[in-house]
Amino acid sequence: MRVKQLGDPVLREVSKSVEISAIQSGQHQQTLEEMKSILNGIQSISSENGNAISAPQVGAPIRLVLLRVEGEFLPMFNPSFEALDNETFLFEEECFSFYQIRGKVVRYLNIRVDYVDEKGESQSIKFSGEFSGIAQHEIDHLDGVLFIDRVEDSKSIRSIDFVFAEQPQRLVQVKKMFDYMVG
């Protein structure tokens, strides 16, 4: 299984911080390479997907998130975020660990993420809109929180069969991605 699926205990663990001196270790770099490979595999099936994953989703309970921003990988060790204001938006979320459903979650619109990069240097980046929601989703994984835990209106939870009922080609593509993730 490439991506750990709902029910795997690692998805509910609080991940351990990564010591700066250990970022370059073979184990952490191997986890990072596995995350990149999975995102590339997903993106090869659907160019609009494969933009974010957390280490727990590949079975490593460490505080590591990998985003693809403007086509480039952005590894974030020990990330945390701060809302830049109180403005929120309703974000329809999906998760590689239970890709068969979607749900709407209230997320901060504008955030700053503080993290340590691959070289062990402290960094900060601002996100707005969709990438703000994606970053919050992935950071939640590091605390054992899944988007289904944050859905305020359970009526917003829908299966992919319903979401893509009028887009049969997209539904086939989404199911191929799911098969890849659990393959």
Q: How does pLDDT run along the chain (183 residues), one tens digit per residue?
A: 799 999 999 999 999 999 999 999 999 999 999 999 999 999 999 988 999 999 999 999 999 999 999 999 999 999 999 999 999 999 999 999 999 999 999 999 999 999 999 999 999 999 999 999 999 999 999 999 999 999 999 999 999 999 999 999 999 999 998 899 888
Q: Residue 144 has which token pair?
A: 């054992």
Q: Residue 161 has which token pair?
A: 């069969």
Q: Residue 128 has which token pair?
A: 């707005």
Q: Where are the domains of the chain?
A: 9-182
Q: Name the active-site residue from 19, 72, 87, 138.
A: 138
The superfamily (CATH) of domain 9-182 is Peptide deformylase (3.90.45.10)
Is residue 138 among the annotated active site residues?
yes
Helix ranges restricted to H, 2-144: 26-45, 130-141
The count of other CB atoms within 10 Å of the CB of residue 146 is 18
Q: Are 127 and 113 in contact (CB under 8 A)?
A: yes
Residue 47 backbone phi and psi in degrees, to 5: -65, -20
Is 28 known to sit in a ligand binding site?
no
Q: Are 107 and 133 in contact (CB under 8 A)?
A: yes
Question: What radius of gyration, in Å, describes the C-alpha atoms of the chain?
Answer: 16
Is 141 known to sit in a ligand binding site?
yes
